[in-house]
A and B are shown apart, each in its own frame.
Chain A
Amino acid sequence: MSELIGNIVILVGAFFLFSAGLGLLRMPDVFTRIQAGTKASTLGNILVLSGLGIHHPDWALKLLIVAYFVLMTNPLSSHALSRAAHAAGAPMVGTVVDALRDEDGIAAKESSP
């Protein structure tokens, strides 16, 4: 019985990971792609790890540490990537407002007389 529940949880996690990959392909620009990748892959990873934990209850605590590691580092890397992409001037599709560019523009105007 616990095997079946573990399998179902792993399957749901795999579905979220698949959606993350599909989101990477379908989204229009760098930042929206990073968003799709971050969220769905975090939950997918956690679900796969907890499914493994249901299969092997004696691994549960170690898997919890791995899950925390993913939870801490996944947003961090997406943050670093998106910041670098914006600094390098990656194009944004269909942008409504870009406060960061406006801020940069003000700073550039102030520094150059």
Chain B
Amino acid sequence: MPEDQGTTQRTASGLLGGLIVLWIVCFTVWLVINSSVAPPIVATGALVSLVVAVIFIRRGDVWRIQAAPRTAYHLLAYTCVFFCELVKANINMLRYVYAPRIDIRPGIVKVNMPLKSSIGRLALTNSIALTPGSLVMDLRGDALFIHLLDVRTSDPEEASRMIIGPFRRHLEAAFG
């Protein structure tokens, strides 16, 4: 990976942003599970979640994300798109399940992975698993192998537009 001044600076700022995001997430989970805001509980939670966040940030590159208002907006938009797709996937699946004769043409197609960061990849693969008739089988380098219930095309470009089209824009903007 080419490391010039710009990328190292960006990595450092991403590190701090990721630390804050992870800290807030851990702390929120702690508060919700305790469902109490007594001072000892809040203090313990803040300390422990900070330690957990620092350990996770120092151990890997997964949480190096940029925390910006645009990221939050794109995450929100992505969640809306995701729930629409989830409901569509379920109605689609009901049609297959309750059909008198199951009429499917399953197959595995190869699609290019557009995202680079690991957390973006995790989000994209998890979303693909919950969209209509698709399931991620494997990820090798930049190639995603996706199992489709109904293969309409073997052309990678068109298949990728069909499968990851809805999520791509928001996830690219949020995680890169």
Contacts and interface: CB of A to CB of B under 8 A. Distances in A.
| Genuine A/B complex | yes
Interface of A: 16, 19, 22-23, 26-29, 31-32, 34-36, 38-40, 42-43, 58, 61-62, 64-65, 71-72, 74-76, 78-79, 82-83, 86, 92-101, 103
Contact of A36 (B93, B105, B138): B93
Contacts of B105: 94, 96
Contacts of B137: 31, 79, 82-83, 86, 100
Given A31-B135, A83-B137, A86-B138, A23 B35 contact: no
A34 to B, nearest CB: 6
Interface stretch (B14-22, B44-52, B59-67, B125-133): B125-133
Interface stretch (B4-12, B70-78, B146-154, B166-174): B146-154
A80 to B, nearest CB: 10
B29 A75 contact: no
Interface of B: 29, 32-33, 35, 86-87, 89-90, 93-94, 96-98, 102, 104-110, 125-127, 129-130, 133-138, 140, 143, 145, 147, 149, 151, 154
A98 B107 contact: yes
A35 B135 contact: yes
Contacts, number: 124
A98 B136 CA distance: 13
- Chain B interface helix/strand/loop/mixed: mixed
B96 A36 contact: yes
Given A61-B35, A62-B33, A96-B107, A75 B133 contact: no
- Pick the most buried of B110, B129, B154: most chain A CB atoms within 10 A of its CB: B129
A32 B97 CA distance: 11
Contacts of B102: 26-28
Contacts of A93: 106
Given A40-B90, A79-B129, A97-B154, A62 B106 contact: no
B126 A98 contact: no
Nearest to A87: B138
A39 B107 contact: no
